[in-house]
Structure 1
Amino acid sequence: MSRTRQRNEKLAAAIAEAGWSHAQLALAFGRVAMERRSEDQAGVGRSHVSHWVAGARPSGAAPDILVETLSRRLGRTVTADEIGLTPLVSSPILDWNADTLTALVDLGRSTLDVERRSVLRAGGYSVAALTLPDQAWWDQLSDRTSRQHSGRLVGAGDLDAVRETVQLFTRIDQRRGGGHARAAVVQYLTSDVAGYLRASYTDDGVRQGMFSTAGELAYLVGWMAFDNSEHAIAQRYLAVAVKLAAEANDAPLAAHILRAMAHQAVDLGHHRQAVRIAEASLEDRRYDYASHRERSLIGVVHARALAVDGQRLAATRALLRAERDLASATAGDDEPGRVFFFGEASLAHESACTLRDMGDLASATKEFQRSVRTRKTATFTRTHAVTLGYLGAVQARSGSIEEACGTWSEALDVMDGIHSGRARQAVRDMRSGLSVYRAKGIHSVTELDGRAARYLAAVDR
């Protein structure tokens, strides 16, 4: 590390504002570095922080990781200049005002190009970027109907073809996981579909439908990246999906995407931000214009956010409302195809996660079991595997290790052919739960632990 002659008082002040010691900052820094897959920065310790405060220049991606770490702690955007540094990696903050189609195509290129994708991953998931635009922004995008159009005329048949393709990709994701075929989805979105978005339309209904469908496809890419634990990429695609939904003036679709953003924030431990985004997904037309099934989906994620934030009573109320909404859904409802997956099994899964996070392991176990029992396994294989992983973890925490081993063994059985970061994490958590029993000579534990280790060795190559 190169040294300056002057103590970095700005960095020292920010650390003091955070209420952290140098060791505590180093620990938090390491978590963000691992999240970004910046292994070379994950070993930062107390002495590194002390050197930085003394005037040493952090190397590599450390300045941007430091900015993100302090932003999360302080609950506001911390800039590199504010802590006496100049960023070496481009800022991860999302630009909500950038042109939607330009942002879409640029993001697609970054995702498909190996070198640029590594830079995108290094940028990391940004908590500071979770601040949503104000109502004026939504109104402005919904009025954006005039673009420079190509000579191509797009009609209802073209829109139907894109919708069919989106459904095909969605079903592949549900069965095989977000790590399978995502490059093909990105290619279709940023070439064929992006071309449709710059075309002329037979009527405004086709235009709105095309932008909504493109928003669903961008959401799908983001969700696939989230499922595969590529959180920086997921965050950026979800933001583009929100912008497409806004241009389509499709409030329920915006709610659907914001729900996914809240879900990601829950899983990454950003509880306060998760609640705020989940609440935004329920505002005004987003909830009121949604179908009963979609209302239940966005509502149960709101319950999950409230649960991890410690708001038990509000979480319980949100769960009950989600149950009522799903009970109101009927086969004849006019509802979008994107919610085809959400039924009794999905609601039970999310309810179980909510109850687990509130500490009610017995009720969580029952809901996970209901989810396993009612799910169409052949269609929703990825989620079935994850649910089994979560169920086994709750059973192990409850002291039923033999039962947990049986559940986890079933989870491994169905993971063949699934490419999912969430599934891989469930197996890592499985091994962690088994670790306390390894020395006790329990045959089922030894056998299962070996299977889990072999699975991880194969998929982590």
Structure 2
Amino acid sequence: MDGRQAFAHPLNQTLAAALRAARWTPRDLVRALNPRLEAIGRPTLHLTAGRAWLNGSQPRCATARRLAATVLTEATGVFYSSAALWGDPPANGGQTQNTATDDLVGRRSVADVLDAAANWVATGAEDQAVLHPASESQLLSAVWDATRQNTLLAVQPGRHEQVPPAFVDVLESQLARLRRLDDTTGGGKLSQRYVRMELAGVLDLVRNSRYTSDVGNRLLATASGMAQLAGWMAFDADLHAAAQRYQLFAIRLARAADESATVANALGMLAYQHAATGKPVAALRYAEAAVDQSARSSSVVRARAWGRMATAYATAGEIGAFREATDRCRALLERRRDDDPHSLYYYTPEQVAAETGHALVELAVTNPARARPLLAEATALLSPLAQQGPTAGFRRSALLHGIHLARAHLMARDPESTASTLLRLTDCVEGVQSIRCRNLLRRFRGLAGTRMQMPDGTRVLTAVDTALSTP
């Protein structure tokens, strides 16, 4: 049954209208739901389930019903609730469901921000997955306010636990190890849950312990780093609203600790998230904010911000501006020092090359008349990292940029190189829990399946399917 037949005589008129607004078939809705369910450890649904929902049934799982409302809201820009779609009891006593910017717009004391962050981290993975996206204007207001968070943290002398500097050393080391773990596995449900637990522990120390001013700032900075990592992992699990909320907390906490480098990095992550979801105007806006925020920071922090700017320009299809931003990034990175922020350990010339290669593929999409030289340049930059495969420490990065290398080969009408790259990627999938990377590979496999007209094509696609079926 095709999409037109599915809408012939729907019993669930609200769902039918939402699908029409999203330009989705019932199968498309299930395809959007399944990665969210996978990200929180819930069983995925058969693709035919959506057809039955139109005919009057509904998902048995309350979380799936709430997720359906969330993904339809994201796809249409119109607010849908589980109550409207399925007749569930209204959430929050009938009030609008939670969004990424709740309690994070306007002036907030550090204590209020800490309370809101603690409450957010305490919510379960399912509640975070069904968080509704904020509008672009709401998010922009929240980011603006976050970058102006005051830096006063009142020390409470009556608290009984004294946090020594050595204890903070351990917390900072743990944050560094979790970042390295993310390089390998990505934002799987276990990693997300553990980082939330670590963030909750640091927030508890800030809120309920005694410490010197220096230790208090280090605790806030660590909490900010944990929030930023949690946000990155949520984005890597395709949980975009949750990712934005974590980055808002990261900016607020970093401002409270007077950590401008972390603020710039979080803004850059918001720019990257918007670029990855096809929103170039917003991506440029947040990248510009990151560049401005990094103006007085070290060279590597400024390089990272200009790298995000280059990605945003590529999404917008602006070749000249992309080249200029990339040149600035590379020049700044050459001035790297030993005392640069540890959080940017990964930002090397090799990483810049990989990001540049991905950007060139995007530019080839928006500049078809210049696609051939852009794709050739992209292939030269992406090939070294993708060929490292599982032998490198950055397994998730090898998978991600290998997918973009395969895209470059396919766009260049080179089925043999496409097939060879896809076969190498099957060795990278195992152990990578990144929902985003798996979704990108799954979508690309579907696209390649219609274009790889070659004798060995079926075997290659079957190998990809087998790799994606393993956890």
Under a length normalisation based on structure 2, what TM-score does the superposition of the two structures give?
0.76
The 3-state SS of whatever aligns with 1:333 is coil
Contact 1:291 1:333 in 2 (8 A): no
Contact 2:390 2:427 in 1 (8 A): no
- Aligned letter for 1:317? E
Contact 1:390 1:426 in 2 (8 A): no
- Aligned letter for 2:197? Q
Matched, 1:100 2:107: no
The 3-state SS of whatever aligns with 2:99 is coil
399 and 201 in structure 1: CA distance in 2 versus 1, 3 angstrom threshold: same
Match among 288, 292, 305 for residue 295 of structure 2: 288
Matched, 1:120 2:134: no
Q: How much does 1:336 deviate?
A: 1.3
Matched, 1:224 2:224: no
275 and 79 in structure 1: CA distance in 2 versus 1, 3 angstrom threshold: farther
Q: How much does 1:391 deviate?
A: 0.8
Contact 1:291 1:334 in 2 (8 A): no
Q: Higher mean Cα deviation, 351-360 or 289-298?
A: 289-298
398 and 451 in structure 1: CA distance in 2 versus 1, 3 angstrom threshold: same
Q: How much does 1:145 deviate?
A: 3.7
Q: How much does 1:310 deviate?
A: 3.0
147 and 374 in structure 1: CA distance in 2 versus 1, 3 angstrom threshold: farther
Residues 256-278 of structure 1 deviation map (CA, whole Å, 9 limit, x = unaligned): 11111111111112221111111
Residue 446 of structure 1 corresponds to: 458
Q: Higher mean Cα deviation, 345-354 or 364-373?
A: 364-373
Output aligned runs, 1:189-268, within 5 Å. 189-191=199-201, 193-268=202-277
107 and 148 in structure 1: CA distance in 2 versus 1, 3 angstrom threshold: farther
Residues 400-424 of structure 1 deviation map (CA, whole Å, 9 limit, x = unaligned): 2111211221111122211111331
Residue 152 of structure 2 corresponds to: 143
Matched, 1:399 2:413: yes
372 and 297 in structure 1: CA distance in 2 versus 1, 3 angstrom threshold: farther
399 and 134 in structure 1: CA distance in 2 versus 1, 3 angstrom threshold: closer
Contact 1:259 1:298 in 2 (8 A): yes
62 and 390 in structure 1: CA distance in 2 versus 1, 3 angstrom threshold: closer
Residue 27 of structure 1 corresponds to: 23
Q: How much does 1:280 deviate?
A: 1.0
Q: How much does 1:24 deviate?
A: 6.6
The 1-side partners of 2:311 and 2:331 are apart by 16
Residue 182 of structure 1 corresponds to: 192
The 1-side partners of 2:134 and 2:455 are apart by 43
Contact 1:163 1:213 in 2 (8 A): yes
Matched, 1:344 2:357: no
202 and 23 in structure 1: CA distance in 2 versus 1, 3 angstrom threshold: closer
The 2-side partners of 1:278 and 1:33 are apart by 33
Matched, 1:422 2:411: no
Q: How much does 1:155 deviate?
A: 2.4
Residue 321 of structure 2 corresponds to: 314
Q: Higher mean Cα deviation, 273-282 or 233-242?
A: 233-242
Matched, 1:161 2:150: no
147 and 346 in structure 1: CA distance in 2 versus 1, 3 angstrom threshold: farther
Q: How much does 1:432 deviate?
A: 2.3
Under a length normalisation based on structure 1, what TM-score does the superposition of the two structures give?
0.78
Contact 1:345 1:374 in 2 (8 A): no
Q: How much does 1:339 deviate?
A: 0.6
The 2-side partners of 1:291 and 1:149 are apart by 38
Q: How much does 1:66 deviate?
A: 6.6
Residues 204-250 of structure 1 deviation map (CA, whole Å, 9 limit, x = unaligned): 22211211111111111111121122223222222211111121121
321 and 35 in structure 1: CA distance in 2 versus 1, 3 angstrom threshold: farther
The 1-side partners of 2:245 and 2:464 are apart by 32
The 3-state SS of whatever aligns with 2:326 is helix
The 1-side partners of 2:298 and 2:100 are apart by 33
Residue 384 of structure 1 corresponds to: 398
The 3-state SS of whatever aligns with 2:470 is helix
The 3-state SS of whatever aligns with 1:288 is coil
Output aligned runs, 1:26-45, within 5 Å. 26-27=22-23, 35=32, 37=36
Contact 2:275 2:312 in 1 (8 A): yes
291 and 408 in structure 1: CA distance in 2 versus 1, 3 angstrom threshold: farther
